[in-house]
Amino acid sequence: MTSTRIRTRVIAAIALGAVVLTGTGMARAQEVTLTVHHFLSAKAVNHARFIVPWARRIEAASGGRIAFEIYPSMTLGGAPPELYQQARDGVADIVWTVLGYTPGVFPRAEVFNLPSVHGGSAVVTNLAIQDLMTDQLAEDFQDIHPLLVHVHSGQALHTVDTEVRTIDDMRGLKLRVPSRSGTWMIEAMGADPVAMPASDLPQALSRGVLDGAFIPFEVALPLKVVDIAAAHTELADGRRFGTTTFLLAMNKDRYESLPDDLRAIIDAESGEALARSAGEAWDTFEPEVMAFATARGNAMIQVSAEDTQAFLETFQVVEDRWVEDATAHGLPAAALLAAAKAAVARHQQAEPDR
């Protein structure tokens, strides 16, 4: 199958969900309309396979009493780093954003950004995060109502000209990073980190501002990074360069103002159940985009087991740096890291096929 046909099928599949929901056709009168704001396009997997199905389930469960208006691509205004504040201040009822866009606001949840913590699949790591939400991570989310804290399937390295097969190939590359710990990882690899929202990637890569970026394949498709990049790199056994931690959050006052029965419907579609379905959306979509990149003729590189060890050593450098920094800021960093790793290991055993 040609790359054009693969792209057409993939885009067509996700475009089925690329709509604004209004709650029409439901049995009971609409009582509440909730706005949802995020920074990726309506063709992105988070919109079409995660947010839209989630909203539809809530609309159906409420019998039409809850309706959603979903605004992708920052169409309510502002920049991606402002999304958390928009939810906190009520500019939008619900937002989907990257925790790393607001450094220092989520110091505990940052542990799941560490490249040494990611469990190899979004489902595994999402469920591990849920294990820590009530106790170890709760203080990070006092100003909003968290519906889900989750990750994607892990970051591959997408490069425009350079084929990265060893850590020496990283030297001097200008690479986009979505988080503070990602900056540390890139520095430890001898490359130059450049912070920017994912939405700015296509132009930055096309103009040579960046040599590459750490993002999952599912983000690389709607942003056309798969078209711009010539090579895509994973570590041995498909291991990725860590992950990014995301937040689906609701304005606290808006949530608490809802009738008890409507809050219960939203609660039932939050937390662990949503963690699994969101993770499955990411884990299922990733191979589809990899197949498209392969059909397009891009270089699909998996670093050898021997050369992977050099990358893993940089992961340890990042981990040690995070523990030292977080401890200096009064967090029980070593205990938090141990709890995160233990939770990931527990779910890896429970989800052996992931």
Indicate whether 108 and 231 sit together in one domain: no
Indicate whether 262 and 189 sit together in one domain: no
In this prediction, residues 212-236 reach a mean pLDDT of 94
CB 170 within 8 A of CB 191: yes
Indicate whether 134 and 92 sit together in one domain: yes
Indicate whether 147 and 162 sit together in one domain: no
Within a domain: residue 173?
Answer: yes
Within a domain: residue 292?
Answer: no
- The band of 351, judged by pLDDT with boundaries at 50, 70 and 90, is confident
Q: Sheet holding 299-302: strands in order across?
A: 192-195, 174-177, 212-215, 156-159, 231-234, 299-302
Q: Please compute Rg for the chain using Cα positions.
A: 20
Range of the domain at 225: 156-242+297-350
Indicate whether 68 and 200 sit together in one domain: no
Which amino acid, one-letter code, is at 278?
A: A
CATH code (residue 341):
3.40.190.170
What's residue 29's pLDDT?
A: 63
DSSP code per residue over 315-344: HHHHHHHHHHHHHHTT--HHHHHHHHHHHH
Indicate whether 68 and 139 sit together in one domain: yes
In this prediction, residues 173-194 reach a mean pLDDT of 93
Q: What is the pLDDT of residues 157-175, one digit of tens each?
A: 999 999 999 999 999 999 9
Q: What is the pLDDT of residues 257-313, one digit of tens each?
A: 999 999 999 999 999 989 999 999 999 999 999 999 999 999 999 999 999 999 999
pLDDT at residue 229 tops 90: yes
Helices (H), 38-191: 45, 52-61, 83-89, 122-133, 180-188
User: Running DSSP on this structure, what letter comes out for residue 185?
Assistant: H
Rounded CA gap, 326 and 299, in Å? 38
Average pLDDT value over all residues in the chain:
91
Q: Taking the model in full, what pTM does it have?
A: 0.88
Count of domains for the chain:
2
Q: Is the dihedral of CA 245, 248, 254, 256 positive or negative?
A: negative
Indicate whether 25 and 92 sit together in one domain: yes
CB 83 within 8 A of CB 35: no
Rounded CA gap, 212 and 215, in Å? 10
Tell which wins on pLDDT, 265 or 49.
265
Highest mean pLDDT: which range of 128-137, 179-188, 189-198: 128-137
DSSP code per residue over 20-54: ----TT-SS---EEEEEE-SS-TTSHIIIIIIHHH
Indicate whether 206 and 172 sit together in one domain: yes
